[in-house]
Structure 1
Amino acid sequence: MAALSPASKRALANLRAFTSPPTNYYKCPLTRRAAVLILLFADRKGDLRVVLTIRSAGLKSYAGQAALPGGKADTLQETPFMTARREAFEEIGLPMSDHRLPTGYEVEHLTELPANLAMTELGVRPCVAFLKTPSPSPRNQNPDAARDILPKLDAKEVAAVFTAPFYNLLREKDIDPKTRSTVPGEWYKGSWHSWHETAWRMHQFFVPVTPATVFLATTKLRPARAAEESPETTGASMPASGQPKKPMPGKPSQSSLQPSLPRSFYTTASDTLQQPRYRVFGMTARILVDCAQVAYGEVPEYEHNSHFGDEDLMDRLLKIGRLTPIRKEGDILTREVMTKAAKAKM
């Protein structure tokens, strides 16, 4: 296997040792179950990178947005990892069994993280896996996971596949000095917003891409229609109760609560795939932040919600009869619903 840096070895060990608390995922009906795959691999320096996609412009939801490979469960018997692997196969061509991978490659299932609640009221279970890269051999003298595995994407669902530096997800700026000086734009932007009077941290990462870290489909990305840009249909996660953590010592306060995010925030540009950086935000960003904290045992440099996943919120919503098998038109989580959920006994 390709050499891992000491930090990467510790990160993988921490993820293997992580045991997720009891989940409400299995209490959700089939129509409310979904899973995503956090696929990690080592680059040539031995540092971990994570695989992400830009969703096709033709999709009904989250069109043109960055996402983790994933989707809804097919059956009640399908585990979150089964769902995540099946969707990764359909979207980016990652084989569902090791014997179909290129020689020497293996996928190790590391752990599952607490479920998150999407604004579409789906329980989303993040599944973390590590793609082991083989040592150099006569048949493959320069193994490269991104090159050998990722280019097989389905243009109907995915416009591009790209990778991001995993540890950098805990930092406010690009760690690589060359990237900071040569790639326009900044790595991180974040702000507190109100969601039914609850403080919710919106993370935005702007991932620099190069020919070696992005693979494009043959179709071009078109702007999403206005109906697909609504906050109600984005991958942004619901905030659970709780207040933002205090700013770190020596850092200016960023906790001034701003209004709810406007619809324009969710709009994707028509030239997204030509940008030097791809934006990762909403639930996808929050899941990655949680995963990086577990892996590296560090808190982010920036402010963030203190809760981990949305298990508590899901439990309370289930107790008041939400997350039912059939989603009714116009059925949204209003302030009244959240107030009722807050009073539900755990």
Structure 2
Amino acid sequence: MSPKDSRGITTSNSALYKFHRPKLRVRDTPHPLKCESELCLRNLSTHRTKRPAPPYPRTHGAAVLVALFVGRAGDLYVLLSQRAKTLSSYAGDTALPGGRIDDDDETIEDTARREAFEEIGLPQDKHKLPLLCILDPFLAGNEVLVTPVVVLILDNTLTPVLNAPEVDTLFSHPLASFLSTTFPERAEPRGPFLEAEAHAETAALELQYHTHSDVPWPQPWSTSADSAARAVRMHRFLTGREAGGMKPIYGLTAAILIRTAAIAYGRPPEFPVQARGEPEINERVAWSLRHPGKRLEEAMRRERFDAERAARVWDKWEGGKWRTGKFRQRVPSRL
């Protein structure tokens, strides 16, 4: 649990962001890496958040696992799933495995690994799936603060065990394609779980691979005078399986994968990431704490959470900002 002051009010998230980084070796990957992919893993393994995220209600915190693996040609892929169509929220969406923080989760990494195990049967072994990095959090539309945890799968013989009530399908997608406006030209042969199939469907559909829409900010319940003056950009990528009923990769999942790919490949995407005047994550979180929706307000009341005190910390937080300059990290490599 997060530290509390004498009144029992949460004051920090620092305990959630403690994690173990085993030493990685390039020769441990099941397939030889391309030079570009090796550099990607170095960039990710040396990435550090500027500082842990400021306080936020624990019951409104979540994590997702960005599970990468090396294909036979040496390229990097990410595992994605299609949520079950019977779920009450985000039914049928294309997503990363993840979910809310449990009481027993000591760190945000524990949350991501546990959820991936429960949803798709991904082992929680930290040596077979070593941690690469933790990214700065993202704020979901339901005001849940989501932290991405990036790992590397070193065992390409893993077999999926899908939790049918939660997951319908598992597939993979090239990581580099989240920096591109055009669909990846080809897919790899099968790898761990179900590696990306051929993308002939997309060519037949003649649809644009990457598109975006700008959603007004703040949230709809706002009475702010400038609510229509700013927006948050939502990106959309086709999977190549739309003809079969698969939804595109959209919104929060797309944003997380854009950030992961940009750090890995050390370059910004081919398209503008943010809308003009888009608020940074710290501004959006501080605003939500001061103008919470019903569920966030109830969570803060249950946890005796000091919203204004936390919002002031978020006001000054400089993590999570999108930077268009070089992504080179100055941390010694562990590879």
Q: Which category describes the TM-score, using the shorter chain as reference length?
A: 0.5 to 0.7
- Of 244, 261, 273, the match for 1:274: 244
Q: Is the 8 A contact 2:143 2:288 kept in 1?
A: no
Q: Is the 8 A contact 1:92 1:154 kept in 2?
A: yes
Q: CA deviation at 1:23?
A: 3.1
Q: CA deviation at 1:13?
A: 0.5
Confirm or deny that 1:205 pairs with 2:174.
Answer: no
Structure 2: 5+ residue runs without aligned partners? 1-29, 187-197, 218-226, 300-310, 317-335
Structure 1: distance between partners of 2:272 and 2:266: 16
Given residue 274 of structure 1, which amino acid in structure 2 is its aligned partner?
G
Given residue 269 of structure 2, which amino acid in structure 1 is its aligned partner?
P
Count of residues in correspondence between the two structures: 253
Other-structure match for 1:300: 269
1:84-95 equivalences under 5 Å are: 84-95=112-123
Other-structure match for 2:42: 13
Please identify, of 302-311 and 30-39, the stretch whose mean Cα deviation from structure 2 is larger: 302-311
- Of 294, 310, 313, the match for 2:284: 313
Deviations 1:151-207 (A, max 9, x none): 321111001111111001100001316857855333211233433321322211001
Q: Is the 8 A contact 1:40 1:51 kept in 2?
A: yes
**TM-score normalised over the length of structure 1:** 0.65
1:1-346 equivalences under 5 Å are: 1-24=30-53, 27-75=55-103, 77-97=105-125, 106-133=128-155, 145=156, 148-176=157-185, 179=199, 182-184=203-205, 185-195=207-217, 196=227, 197-209=229-241, 274-275=244-245, 278-305=247-274, 310-315=281-286, 317-318=288-289, 320=290, 322=292, 327-328=297-298, 346=316
Q: CA deviation at 1:295?
A: 0.7
**TM-score normalised over the length of structure 2:** 0.67
Q: Is the 8 A contact 2:286 2:315 kept in 1?
A: no
Given residue 13 of structure 1, which amino acid in structure 2 is its aligned partner?
R
Please identify, of 295-304 and 34-43, the stretch whose mean Cα deviation from structure 2 is larger: 295-304
Structure 2: distance between partners of 1:324 and 1:192: 24
Q: CA deviation at 1:324?
A: 9.4
Structure 2: distance between partners of 1:78 and 1:297: 31
Structure 1: 5+ residue runs without aligned partners? 100-105, 134-144, 210-271, 330-340
- CA change 1:183–1:20 in 2 (3 A) is farther
Q: Is the 8 A contact 2:93 2:247 kept in 1?
A: no
- CA change 1:19–1:345 in 2 (3 A) is closer
- CA change 1:153–1:77 in 2 (3 A) is closer
Percent identity of paired positions between Structure 1 and Structure 2: 33
